[in-house]
Structure 1
Amino acid sequence: MSETISIKRLVKRLLMLAVVMFAFGFALVPLYDVMCKAFGINGKTGGQYEGSQVTDPTRKVRVQFLSTNNIDMVWDFYSKADEIDVHPGAVNEMIFVAHNPSDHPMTAQAIPSISPAEAAAYFHKTECFCFSQQVLQPGERIEMPVRFIVDRDLPADVKHLTLAYTLFDITARQPPVASINGQVPKGEQ
């Protein structure tokens, strides 16, 4: 009898633990944002830039590009150059390449970050593949531009920035393709 009671208690505790872990999973994103802000890590870029600036030809800033795949992402993903030197205020471009080597269509989302974190507000993208999801068919390869401006107001002691992208497979999060009379529409196969 006491063995049955202790098994019931164990099951209740395990269920409570599962509920707490599930709730914690939902709280991770806001907690992550708070931690990054508090500790100045994983700086997000200054976002899409709409203004214009005068180029400062007397100053150069080195911008390094890193591309990584999340653990479940099978795509080949890289920048065409590891780094470039830019003048603050000038519009610059880097091409990233993605290739889907799988045998099925996949959808990806790139998440950017900038370091050092204090420089993130001075890095402005005018065009970026990270603004939208990328869908690639089996074997498809694409080139994706990133156009950006390093702000003239970047602190003078910052001479090197790193723009990093992590590519996530979000295929499973996409709504299923609607079928017409049991057939997948052309182009959706």
Structure 2
Amino acid sequence: MTAPTVDRAAGNRVLLYKLLVIAVLMFGFAFALIPFYREICAALGLNELTRADAAPANTQVDLSRSLSVALDANPQPGSPLSLVPLRPSLNVHPGEFAHVEYRIVNQSQRRIWAQALPAYSPVSAAQYFHKLECFCFREMVLEPGESRTLPVVFVIDRQVPDSVGALALSYRVIEVAGKGGS
């Protein structure tokens, strides 16, 4: 009975070696697929976004025109809030994302709830001005003496008429009624 036990143990060892060789080959094949995949994609022109030297072209941007966007802020008379754009203007192409910032300061010694109200000039261009992020979307609570930088991310629609060559984005910050005080 010892002969079948020896044969079985030898057979198990041979099977173990075969399985280990197969596992090593499978790992090597999977590891080799990464550069192989990159070369095939490069040869066929697929998956160009993964290349560091190939910046994707934004086909939504109208590079044939440029619009001047003036930034402004008008304080509410008698308000302790100060709001100013960090840059007075910028040029953007229709369809291009733009990022600007405003600085708000609570110059009082009390907590203030505030809301920003946007205005556009010309008024007809407001329908082409799309804000993706804006401090005007929600109320703000400003502590006494607090200062913040507030972002605005926008895009001007490609459908803006050619007659519009300049736009103005202006904000007025108002105190929200019934929420002020310490």
Per the normalisation by structure 1, the TM-score is: 0.62
Is the 1:53–1:90 contact (alpha carbons within 8 Å) kept by the matching residues of 2? Answer: no
1:111 partnered with 2:122: no
Query: What's the offset of the Cα at 1:95?
Result: 0.2
Identity percentage over the alignment?
Answer: 34
1:132 partnered with 2:138: yes
Map 1:136-147; keep pairs closer than 5 Å: 136-147=142-153
Query: What's the offset of the Cα at 1:174?
Result: 2.1
| CA displacement, residues 8-47 of structure 1 (integer Å, 9 cap, x when unaligned) | xxxxxxxxxxxxxxxxxxxxxxxxxxxxxxxxxxxxxxxx
2:125 and 2:59 map into 1 onto residues whose CA distance is: 17
Q: What amino acid sits opposite 1:166 in the alignment?
A: R
Q: Name segments (4+ residues, structure 1) moved above 6 Å.
A: none
Query: What's the offset of the Cα at 1:72?
Result: 3.2
1:173 partnered with 2:181: no
CA RMSD, 1 decimal: 1.8
Per the normalisation by structure 2, the TM-score is: 0.65
Q: What amino acid sits opposite 1:57 in the alignment?
A: L
Query: What's the offset of the Cα at 1:66?
Result: 1.0
| CA displacement, residues 145-174 of structure 1 (integer Å, 9 cap, x when unaligned) | 01000110000010000111111112x422
Query: What's the offset of the Cα at 1:53?
Result: 7.3
Aligned residues: 125
1:167 and 1:53 map into 2 onto residues whose CA distance is: 36
- Secondary structure, aligned partner of 2:74: strand
User: Radius of gyration: which is bigger?
Assistant: 2
- Secondary structure, aligned partner of 1:85: strand
2:158 and 2:173 map into 1 onto residues whose CA distance is: 29
In the alignment, structure 2 segments of 5+ residues that lack a partner are 1-57
In the alignment, structure 1 segments of 5+ residues that lack a partner are 1-51, 177-188
